[in-house]
């Protein structure tokens, strides 16, 4: 009887741990995608990434997620913000966010769905390896 | 213009950089569906302002600074179309690019107009030999029309496209086949401003005086599109510089001089006019009227935008569609980087039905367990040692961050030749020359 209880307990605990770590792999894969596309020197001359073109918002999204600051300009390190942004990006929600360029000159209002589409196509370009045309 | 019209807002036009000096507005345009005033600057930047207080909404660059200023802005349901001298660009009102066309035959574009196909097609023209027809849904050039005339302003009237030439005449162009139907010489030297609405074209222009300088003509010329004849000009002693037709009162127009004297005149009855004075320390460079007729925007040489209207009931569009704004973010639990106990899954996923972005492609082959890259001791010798590592010039004969074939060095093929499988031979053949990684 005791053996049965403790084995069930062990099973419960294993499930509990599994549930806690379930999301990690997904987040790492998402971060890996973002990491591989952002700031690639091959993209430097690519008009798609210039200020007048559509992939500019991806640069600004990176700043939005990772470079948060408070009213005094001090960095805010909030893992909750980062993960919730990444989760929304992963799912591609219709929520709209403001993205502002570093010089404050450009402001965009973008949905996570639009960003997801952009990243998907940028990553697709990398897979095809045709970024240097 | 109602009796209580007054200046309701005046804002400085944002400069092109944080510490840059302001530059004048190159283009003003009221949105047709949302309460937005759109502006262009001389570096290709488009900025929108919301409502009677002109709060900044979105801002983006439509083309690079080398291509010059924003020349014209048109609207349809999907977004805004921006004309530069060498490109046409379309974005949603939120700033998301839809398409962008740079064409070899776009050299000196000046103006554009919707055609007979509603807002799904535009005609772009300028001081060049070709006009281009662009499908605004697909975002591509569908036709090129040769023309011997140069155009600087275009307006669509109910039936035709009215195009002003640099030399002072107005061409009435068929909006289906783009043939010139009639040429009307409106001013002797040049046309400064033109508007067309319903059945009328109104123009302001210059004539050359004896001293050799250009003087604004003290009248507004009017053309009747229904009968295809010019009408008697409307006198404007202060010198007419800018003119707009009232969008809802089909025979009313607003005329303004360079120093801000505004007259509201009925074309059929020019003797009764309503006069206002806009104040600025410099000259006015532009006037634009909202589609509702309830607001007028002015730009002056001091880089300010003035908004006129009735303080109590000013609005830009007839059916005010709400402007989209950012969603308020639901509170997210704050996680510190060193709170190891809180699992990452505590944030939670939003509801979703599609493939997640994190889905990694399944057909990628990764090789693991390779020995680390050996660093050539000769190169190491050229580097200087610091307590955080080595540094110096990169003299290695590989690309930056190149994936190196470690396995090849490990077991040299020359010493140990074993028979190869067919698939292995094929793979070696497929291997690209040194310097680029194998395709897989």
pLDDT digits (tens, 9 = 90+) for A1-19: 788 888 888 888 888 888 7
Helix orientation angle between A112-128 and A2-37, rounded to the nearest 10 degrees:
70
In terms of Cβ atoms closer than 10 Å to its own Cβ (0-12, 13-18, 19+), residue B383 is: middle
Q: Kindly list the residues from chain A whose CB atom is less than 8 angstroms away from the CB atom of residue B89.
A: 52
Nearest CB partner across the interface for B343, out of A21, A109, A110: A21
Helix ranges, B309-367 (H): none
Please state, in angstroms and as integers, the Cα–Cα distance from residue B376 to each residue in A12, A68, A131, B5, B396, following that order.
Answer: 53, 42, 31, 80, 9
Q: What are phi and psi of A48, to 5 degrees?
A: -60, -30
| Cβ atoms B224, B199 nearer than 8 A | yes
Taking alpha carbons only, the member of B71, B141, B142 closest to residue B101 is: B141
pLDDT over 90 at B30, yes or no: yes
For residues A54 and A60, give the distance between their C-alpha atoms in angstroms, rounded to a whole number.
11
Above 0.90 for ipTM, yes or no? no
C-beta atoms of A106 and B94 within 8 A: no
CA gyration radius for chain A?
20
Q: Looking at residues B209-214, what average pLDDT do you find?
A: 73
Q: Which residue has the tokens 């949603």?
A: B92
Q: Which of residues 50-109 of A touch B (CB under 8 A)?
A: 50-54, 57, 77-81, 83-84, 87-93, 95-98, 103-109
| Residue found under tokens 């880089």 | B303
Residue B440: band (very low, low, confident or very high) from pLDDT cuts 50, 70, 90? very low
> Residue B63: which of A21, A52, A92 has the nearest Cβ?
A52
pLDDT at residue B110 tops 50: yes
> Given pLDDT bands bounded at 50, 70 and 90, which one contains residue B438?
very low
Can you give the pLDDT at residue B429?
67
A94: nearest CA partner in chain B: B327
CA A1 to chain B, closest CA, distance in angstroms equals 32
Sheet strands side by side (includes B153-156): B153-156, B160-164, B169-174, B180-185
- pLDDT category, A46, cuts 50, 70, 90? confident
- Name which of A105, A114, A120 is nearest B45 (Cβ-Cβ): A105
Is residue B93 predicted with pLDDT exceeding 80?
yes
More confident residue, B305 or A103: B305
Q: Residue B197: what pLDDT? A: 86
**For testing contact with chain B, the best of A20, A52, A92 (most B CBs within 10 A):** A52
pLDDT-derived band at B417, boundaries 50, 70, 90 = low
pLDDT surpassing 70 at residue A93 = yes
Distance of alpha carbon A121 from alpha carbon A49, whole angstroms: 13
Q: What are phi and psi of A96, to 5 degrees?
A: -100, 140
Alpha carbon distance B152, B318 (integer Å): 29
- Report the alpha-carbon angle B435-B436-B440, nearest 5: 145
Which secondary structure element, helix H or strand E, spans residue B118, and what is its range? strand B118-126
A61-91 pLDDT, tens digit per residue, is 999 999 988 888 888 888 888 888 998 998 8
């Amino acid at each position: 009887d005791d053996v049965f209880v403790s084995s069930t307990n062990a099973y419960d605990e294993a499930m509990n741990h599994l549930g806690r770590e379930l999301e990690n792999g997904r987040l790492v894969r998402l971060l890996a995608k973002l990491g591989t596309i952002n700031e690639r020197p091959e993209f430097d001359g690519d008009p798609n990434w210039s200020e007048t073109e559509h992939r500019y918002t991806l640069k600004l999204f990176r700043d939005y997620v990772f470079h948060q600051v408070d009213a005094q300009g001090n960095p805010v390190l909030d893992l909750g913000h980062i993960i919730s942004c990444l989760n929304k990006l992963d799912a591609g929600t219709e929520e709209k966010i403001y993205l502002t360029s570093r010089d404050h000159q450009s402001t965009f209002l973008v949905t996570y769905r639009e960003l997801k589409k952009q990243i998907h196509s940028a990553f697709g370009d990398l897979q095809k390896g045709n970024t240097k045309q | 213009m109602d009796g209580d019209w007054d200046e309701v807002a005046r804002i400085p036009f944002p400069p092109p950089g944080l510490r840059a000096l302001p530059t004048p507005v190159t283009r003003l345009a009221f949105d047709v569906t949302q309460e937005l005033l759109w502006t262009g600057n001389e570096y290709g930047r488009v900025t929108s302002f919301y409502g009677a207080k002109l709060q900044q909404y979105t801002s983006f660059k439509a083309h690079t600074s080398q291509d010059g200023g924003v020349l014209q802005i048109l609207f349809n349901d999907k977004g805004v179309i921006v004309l530069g001298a060498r490109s046409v660009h379309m974005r949603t009102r939120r700033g998301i690019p839809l398409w962008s066309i740079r064409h070899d035959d776009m050299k000196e574009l000046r103006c554009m107009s919707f055609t007979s196909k509603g807002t799904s097609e535009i005609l772009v023209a300028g001081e060049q030999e070709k006009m281009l027809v662009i499908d605004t849904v697909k975002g591509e050039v569908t036709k090129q029309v040769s023309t011997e005339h140069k155009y600087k302003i275009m307006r669509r009237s109910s039936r035709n496209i009215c195009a002003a030439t640099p030399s002072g005449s107005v061409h009435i162009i068929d909006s289906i086949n783009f043939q010139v139907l009639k040429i009307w010489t409106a001013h002797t030297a040049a046309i400064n401003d033109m508007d067309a609405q319903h059945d009328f074209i109104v123009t302001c222009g210059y004539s050359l005086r004896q001293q050799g300088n250009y003087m604004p003509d003290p009248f507004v010329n009017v053309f009747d599109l229904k009968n295809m004849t010019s009408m008697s000009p409307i006198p404007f002693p202060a010198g007419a510089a800018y003119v707009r037709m009232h969008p809802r009162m089909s025979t009313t127009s607003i005329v303004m001089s360079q120093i801000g004297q505004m007259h509201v005149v009925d074309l059929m009855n020019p003797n009764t006019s309503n006069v206002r004075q806009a104040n600025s320390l410099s000259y006015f460079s532009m006037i634009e009227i909202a589609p509702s007729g309830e607001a007028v925007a002015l730009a002056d040489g001091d880089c300010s935008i003035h908004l006129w209207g009735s303080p109590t009931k000013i609005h830009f569009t007839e059916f005010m569609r709400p402007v989209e704004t950012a969603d308020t973010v639901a509170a997210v639990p704050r996680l510190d980087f060193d709170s190891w106990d809180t699992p990452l899954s505590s944030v939670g996923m939003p509801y979703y039905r599609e493939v997640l972005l994190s889905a990694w492609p399944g057909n990628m082959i990764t090789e693991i367990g390779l020995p680390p890259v050996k660093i050539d001791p000769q190169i190491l010798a050229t580097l200087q040692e610091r307590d955080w590592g080595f540094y110096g010039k990169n003299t290695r004969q590989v690309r930056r961050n190149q994936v190196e074939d470690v396995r090849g060095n490990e077991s040299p093929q020359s010493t140990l030749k074993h028979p190869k499988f067919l698939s292995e031979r094929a793979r070696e053949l497929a291997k690209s020359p040194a310097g680029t990684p194998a395709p897989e």
